[in-house]
Chains A and B, each alone.
Chain A
Amino acid sequence: MVGSFKRSAGVSQFLSATDGLDRGLAVYMAESGVKDLRQDALREVISRTNNLAATASAIGDPPTDEEAQQLHDLANSIFSVAGTFELHFLAKTSRALCELLNILSERGMWRRDIVQLHCDAVRAARDEETLHQSAQEEMLLGLEATRASLQKSNEGAR
């Protein structure tokens, strides 16, 4: 049942050359609001990485489609917020896991060892300040190499 109210004209009506906030002030105000969420967000990210580790251990080998989707959703939920709070290493490792799960799904295959490796990296990245920049880069390169070799071996098998 649709109520009776004014028709929407979309967002273009709010574009203005004179009124409203200019870009600098709007972004500053928005960043202040996001900063207030930081502590809660960090706690939530830790909870999600714990959940990811538990899920990765619990799913079947190979997992059902639902289990694989659950793992992807968890990795994606970490990736989606980590970058907003400057957790760049965590964002990169969780993104790498999403990418790996997409590769495996596309090819209809499963490699528990490589998935576990990526999950371990996400967990390590949670405490990214304890890892030196060079160790982080090395870890990301290692993950990338495993995905690349997976793609290559699969292409060779076709």
Chain B
Amino acid sequence: MPSELAGGSLKLDFRRASALVLDRDLLCIQILVAMLNGFGLRSIARYQEVAQAIDGLNSRTIDIVIMDPTGYGDKGYGLVSWLRSSSAHPNHGATVVLATGYPTVKAISHMKTCTADFLISKPFSTATLFDRLVWVAQQEGKRGQMLAPGNVVSTTGSGVDLW
């Protein structure tokens, strides 16, 4: 773990941040929202359908998208690709994090190519989510590369070696 994370010298001031959570699983949405609220986030749009999430992205500024593409077929990955390819869209620069459990083999290849910024393996702890959000925040200018911090992320967390 980077020393600044271990020492806690870096902070996330999420008071003005706006998030969008997309997940088929309502319980997972509730868990994620509880964690983000704890981190100080107050503006969190939550959706269970891709079409609703697209409407949400078209209607307000979203700083971070956290979504589980499982269960949406190609539509979930399509949302990420659409956002990344729409350079004129106000939310084109939003950070996109995929949060997934144990994906199928087919899903892994989709995740690698859909141009999301980062992947978090479910189940994750609050500390893990915080550290990974800080890490993602430090990677400005490296969008869409699905990067992994080798010393923070366990790529075997869900049995999937994405990197």
Contacts and interface: CB of A to CB of B under 8 A. Distances in A.
A73 B140 CA distance: 33
A17 B11 CA distance: 6
A14 B28 CA distance: 24
Interface stretch (B45-53, B101-109, B147-155): B101-109
A34 to B, nearest CB: 5
B95 to A, nearest CB: 4
B8 A22 contact: yes
A21 B11 CA distance: 6
B58 A10 contact: no
7 contacts: A11-B95, A23-B10, A27-B38, A41-B27, A75-B102, A81-B28, A83-B123
B79 interface: no
Given A1-B58, A11-B137, A31-B38, A76 B130 contact: no
Contact of B34 (A34, A75, A81): A34
B102 A81 contact: no
Task: Among B63, B71, B104, B158, find the residue whose CB has the most chain A CB atoms closer than 10 A.
Answer: B104
Nearest to B140: A12
Given A8-B62, A79-B101, A15 B134 contact: yes
Interface of A: 1-3, 5-24, 26-34, 36-37, 40-41, 44, 69, 72-73, 75-77, 79-84, 91, 95, 98-99, 101-102, 105-106
Contact of B91 (A8, A22, A28, A81): A8
B60 A9 contact: no
A22 B11 contact: yes
**Dominant secondary structure at the B interface:** loop
Given A7-B61, A80-B122, A105-B105, A30 B129 contact: yes
B110 interface: no
B144 to A, nearest CB: 11
B63 A9 contact: yes
B31 A34 contact: yes
A84 B137 contact: no
Given A44-B27, A77-B101, A10 B95 contact: yes
B115 interface: no
Given A14-B137, A26-B40, A99 B102 contact: yes
B124 A10 contact: no
Interface in B66-108: 68, 70-71, 89-95, 100-105
